[in-house]
Structures are given as C-alpha cells and as structure tokens.
C-alpha cells in the first residue's frame, strides 16, 4: 500500500502545499494521542456535551453555552503542537515553550503522553472564555 500523501491531479503548488500540511497535521495528531485525550475529556468531564470543529491543521474543541462558552484551540505547525491561550506574560520556564499567546510543544515534548495529558488537563481547567453574542 502506498503511504505517500495523495496528490490532486492538476493541483497548484499552493494546493499541494496545503495538502501536505493537512497530512502532516493528521499524522502529528494521531501519533501524539491528542484526539483520544480530547475525547476522554469530552466523555468524562463534559458527559459528551463538547463538540469538535476540524480545520486543515487545527482542532477547535468547544463546550458550554451563552456565558459559559469555552474552547481550546489546538493547531499543528510543522512538527509542533500549539495551544492558543489568552494573551499573557511569557513564562520563564521552557516547557512548554511560551510566546505570550501560544504554548508550543516540540516533538520531544508531545511524545511524552503523560506530560501532554497533564498540560491538556491544565488548559481544560482554565480554558479560553468566549464572549457572548447576546
């Protein structure tokens, strides 16, 4: 079986690049075990009331309604997994890497599933609050 990413006939270089990014993101999410971790949080903590929006290289995990609306924004950039948080001061510790908006996990970090799960739990406990449209 061919393991090469599918290429679209007559695809432009931009379309091919986007397809490669999508395939890479799928691989990183699968290898990291992050989808199972998110499903576990949805099942155990939220009793299945959360929902997932999947985009090319990111997943938006949302739950709650009205004033209780929350989300986690998780994306893959190259080989790294990034969690988008509310803007904050940069942390002094190096794990995970912090740029004041994202916490970034390198492959060496996200391959440690217990560490990734512990960080994911922290982000679930302190999620991004969405503004109400009311």
| DSSP category for residue 45 | T
User: 105 near 96, Cβ under 8 Å?
Assistant: yes
Q: For the whole model, what pTM was predicted? A: 0.81
Mean pLDDT of the chain: 88
Q: Kindly report whether the peptide bond that precedes residue 96 is cis, defined as omega within 30 degrees of 0.
A: yes
State the Cα–Cα distance between residues 29 and 20, nearest whole angstrom: 14
Domain positions in the chain are 13-129
pLDDT tens per residue, range 31-73: 999 999 999 999 999 999 999 999 999 999 999 987 889 999 9
> Over 90: is that where the pLDDT of 133 sits?
no
Per residue in 93-126, pLDDT tens? 777 899 888 999 999 999 999 999 999 999 999 8
């Amino acid at each position: 079986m061919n393991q090469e990413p599918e290429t679209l006939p007559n695809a432009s270089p931009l379309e091919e690049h986007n397809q490669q990014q999508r395939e890479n993101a799928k691989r990183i999410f699968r290898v990291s075990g992050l989808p199972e971790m998110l499903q576990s949080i949805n099942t155990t903590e939220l009793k299945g009331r959360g929902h997932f929006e999947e985009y090319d290289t990111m997943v938006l995990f949302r739950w709650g309604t009205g004033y209780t609306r929350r989300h986690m924004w998780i994306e893959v950039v190259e080989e790294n997994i990034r969690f988008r948080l509310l803007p904050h001061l940069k942390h002094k510790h190096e794990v995970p890497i912090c740029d004041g908006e994202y916490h970034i996990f390198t492959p060496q970090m996200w391959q440690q599933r217990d560490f990734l799960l512990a960080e994911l739990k922290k982000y679930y406990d302190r999620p991004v609050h969405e503004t109400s449209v009311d």
